[in-house]
A and B are shown apart, each in its own frame.
Chain A
């Protein structure tokens, strides 16, 4: 059979990570926005909008990790030790956060205040840690043969901090846009303001991160036609639609936010487009590396028979997963008010 298994597997992992960012991004964003809500009952509503779906959203992260183990074990075996500390911090934050969903609404007064703070704090920390993972990944990982050969704090640079802050703004935008879509009344109005602020922050930080990324590694600069003193238009032109689509996403979100009363779902779609553009920009920067800048996805790929089995499972099961995920979102569609009674 002539199917290029490593390429297909790389596509599947890329889709899983993208799904994670698009889906868990907005519920992490709701946690980031938690401190800014005016009333505890507003926070109840914010949580209710994601209560039925957050668990499924986070499962994409497990597919990303488990899928990388199954499809690209050599990349998994290098990236995890290289990014040990931010990954552990992310996991610890996600543990607290997941428990906060149940505990917060079981708690009495003082406990509730604690779990409100824990939900907000751990959402922020998980996002910063994911940003550090992403920043550390973009910077590249030091290899020793096929193993990680660097130090424990290689990922900790001003660049990865910048990426982390940018991701916080981006997730806040996703969360705010989700709340614009799914809430009503005063909270909806507040969400619009949050969306404006986080959209502006996302636009600024995305621009700064994009420019900084051109300097991180000559490979990336070269791919975008940047050689330190100017752009080579012949190399840049074919990739130009990617940032332009991101810009269009921002404009769509901004346009919809200026029209209160209508287009409630549109800012969210705009925010998704921004993330899609950023993700595509990274993908073209790295391809074909799965561990920048030394291990291509082909070299990191699992044995063909293992990939064939994994991809058979994906082909059989993923359509069902996507189908019932869409169904669950559809089931819980519509505005969520204070009377939703999920909790």
Chain B
């Protein structure tokens, strides 16, 4: 275990050797952080949907091959088109990230690449190529390969998305709780134990948390799209089937997610006490910490201007017992405290949405069990539609809790964000940030519009649409309705 402690929570890295004599440009730092937050928050929307959707498509295709029930094929052909749009947007916004580490965070790259470089390389080699290559077969190869091979292609794409999540969450977990490394005199790091780097202590919970979040996000979108169709049409076999599959996912995975999230929270209490104090807006170190339902944290005054609290519940939830002492933010130097307000509320929104997902699952399961079915309950269908975007919001909030809560460090306890930035000027970074905002606004608006338009058409119309004689009947896109202008 001696290795485990090497370099942990040691003095912050100055990285002098890597950026000698550079005067830190404060504006460039803030803008680089904004740009990273913006581009990664935009990016994470798509993988958190496509990780789940790829698995869903593999399940649909497998069920269709086994049961020969046409509804599964109709659903596959419907959702694969939405998958194609979302996946494309995820790929192109992801390419940005593999370059942005260097353009904006070059000191981080030089310091951390000896440890997490291989992890990111494995993500490309094991996941990106697999996804990109078999996506072509999945979308365009229906007529060119047999059903078994096509199912294999879908499954490999799904496997690729999961492997991608594995490696990126592994790298992120290491940055949250770095283990298995040593620091060299020039400021760079060295891996001393790869197993501890790849499987750092918080990795299993984080990976499970991310994959389940992706599955829930997908199920919420599938559930909302199906419920919307049922509200409009009254009855549609495919939509009823998809809604029931989504309810199954909420009912099983949402409670499990709360459990894993709580495990993750307990780890934060143990390993990142400053983050936990920010999540809960604890200022004093004490036993019987109250649980603040709402609060107005004030960093200047080092306290909450307003609180709505349950006494002692804070200690119970975070440390398991009311008499447990839990650290408050004042236990850390002001320069070592993460932002409180945004972390506090992002956490509460995430948990509230998680609880709502559990509620939706329980309601839907009860309707399936005791009534003619959820298809007939209009209030349930409306609730399912309203919850459609909840997964995305919860994922982004969870990411804010994890990443903003880790501040002021980029590698917790090892490298401060302010020391990690590239020697580039504020002018360049504001130009690039503006460019990303404009381009992302365009593609997001258009992408969402096309996805919503497909959802509005619904799966049945796709199955009913006459086949284009110019297209091979089996191709995934062949059954697409001809759109105006084509």
Asked whether A302 and B113 contact (CB < 8 A) given A81-B422, A328-B136, A331-B145, the answer is yes
A76-B129 in contact (CB<8A): no
A306-B117 in contact (CB<8A): yes
Asked whether A79 and B89 contact (CB < 8 A) given A63-B125, A152-B425, the answer is no
B84-A102 in contact (CB<8A): yes
A146-B129 in contact (CB<8A): no
Query: In the assembled complex, which residues on chain B have CB atoms less than 8 Å from the CB atom of A55?
Result: 88, 91, 132-133, 135-136
A203 contacts partner chain B, Cβ-Cβ < 8 Å: no
| Chain B contact surface mostly | helix
Find the A residue at minimum CB distance from B139.
A52
**Quick check: which of A64-72, A219-227, A247-255, A272-280 contacts chain B, the rest being far away?**
A64-72
A84-B475 in contact (CB<8A): no
B85-A338 in contact (CB<8A): no
Query: In the assembled complex, which residues on chain A have CB atoms less than 8 Å from the CB atom of B134?
Result: 324, 328
B88 to chain A, nearest CB (A): 5
A63-B124 in contact (CB<8A): yes
A313-B91 in contact (CB<8A): no
Interface residues as binary, B180-212 with A (CB distance below 8 Å gives 1, 0 otherwise): 000000001011001000000000000000000
B141-A76 in contact (CB<8A): no
Query: In the assembled complex, which residues on chain B have CB atoms less than 8 Å from the CB atom of A68?
Result: 102
A53 to chain B, nearest CB (A): 6
A91-B99 in contact (CB<8A): yes
Find the A residue at minimum CB distance from B20.
A145
B118-A78 in contact (CB<8A): no
B66 contacts partner chain A, Cβ-Cβ < 8 Å: no
User: In the bound complex, what is the Cα–Cα distance between A302 and B118 (angstroms)?
Assistant: 10
A78 to chain B, nearest CB (A): 7
Residues of chain A in range 70-92 having any CB-CB distance to chain B below 8 Å: 70-71, 73-74, 76-81, 84-85, 87-89, 91-92
**Quick check: which of B220-228, B289-297, B432-440 contacts chain A, the rest being far away?**
B432-440
Interface residues as binary, B88-126 with A (CB distance below 8 Å gives 1, 0 otherwise): 110111111011011100110110011101101111111
User: In the bound complex, what is the Cα–Cα distance between A309 and B198 (angstroms)?
Assistant: 12
A285 to chain B, nearest CB (A): 23
B25 to chain A, nearest CB (A): 12
Most buried by B among A74, A84, A145, A305: A84
| Chain A contact surface mostly | helix
Asked whether A58 and B91 contact (CB < 8 A) given A73-B113, A95-B443, A103-B446, the answer is yes
Query: In the assembled complex, which residues on chain A have CB atoms less than 8 Å from the CB atom of B363?
Result: none
Give the residue of A53, A107, A148, A342 whose beta carbon is less than 8 angstroms from that of B106: A148
User: In the bound complex, what is the Cα–Cα distance between A314 and B117 (angstroms)?
Assistant: 13
Query: In the assembled complex, which residues on chain A have CB atoms less than 8 Å from the CB atom of B135?
Result: 55
Give the residue of A56, A61, A102, A317 whose beta carbon is less than 8 angstroms from that of B88: A102
A77-B109 in contact (CB<8A): yes
Query: In the assembled complex, which residues on chain B have CB atoms less than 8 Å from the CB atom of A89?
Result: 435
B427-A66 in contact (CB<8A): no
**Quick check: which of B255-263, B324-332, B464-472 contacts chain A, the rest being far away?**
B464-472
B343 contacts partner chain A, Cβ-Cβ < 8 Å: no
Find the A residue at minimum CB distance from B425.
A152
B335 contacts partner chain A, Cβ-Cβ < 8 Å: no
Query: In the assembled complex, which residues on chain B have CB atoms less than 8 Å from the CB atom of A283?
Result: none
A70-B424 in contact (CB<8A): no
B95-A80 in contact (CB<8A): no
Find the A residue at minimum CB distance from B429.
A84
Query: In the assembled complex, which residues on chain B have CB atoms less than 8 Å from the CB atom of A146?
Result: 17-18, 110
Most buried by A among B89, B94, B440: B89
Query: In the assembled complex, which residues on chain A have CB atoms less than 8 Å from the CB atom of B440?
Result: 95
Asked whether A148 and B113 contact (CB < 8 A) given A51-B140, A106-B483, A303-B191, the answer is no
Asked whether A85 and B114 contact (CB < 8 A) given A53-B136, A59-B132, A99-B443, the answer is no
A43 to chain B, nearest CB (A): 12
User: In the bound complex, what is the Cα–Cα distance between A78 and B424 (angstroms)?
Assistant: 11
A92-B435 in contact (CB<8A): yes
Asked whether A73 and B110 contact (CB < 8 A) given A62-B95, A84-B428, A92-B436, the answer is yes
Give the residue of B117, B141, B143 whose beta carbon is less than 8 angstroms from that of A69: B117
A6 to chain B, nearest CB (A): 13
Could you list 7 further interchain pairs (A-B, Cβ under 8 angstroms) beyond the known A62-B95, A87-B99, A309-B191?
A: A69-B117, A77-B422, A88-B435, A101-B88, A105-B486, A108-B483, A303-B190
Q: Can you report 24 A-B residue pairs in the complex whose CB atoms are below 8 A from each other?
A: A55-B91, A55-B135, A56-B129, A63-B128, A65-B95, A71-B117, A76-B101, A76-B113, A77-B110, A80-B109, A84-B432, A92-B439, A94-B95, A97-B92, A102-B88, A144-B423, A145-B19, A147-B22, A148-B423, A303-B190, A306-B118, A310-B117, A313-B118, A341-B470
Q: Which residues of B contact A (CB under 8 A)?
A: 17-22, 84-85, 88-89, 91-96, 98-99, 101-103, 106-107, 109-110, 113-115, 117-118, 120-126, 128-130, 132-137, 139-141, 143-145, 188, 190-191, 194, 422-425, 427-428, 431-432, 435-436, 439-440, 442-443, 446-447, 450, 453-454, 468, 470-472, 475, 477-478, 483-486
Q: Which residues of A contact B (CB under 8 A)?
A: 51-53, 55-56, 58-59, 61-63, 65-71, 73-74, 76-81, 84-85, 87-89, 91-92, 94-99, 101-103, 105-112, 144-149, 152, 302-303, 305-306, 309-310, 313-314, 317-318, 321, 324-325, 328, 331-332, 338-339, 341-343
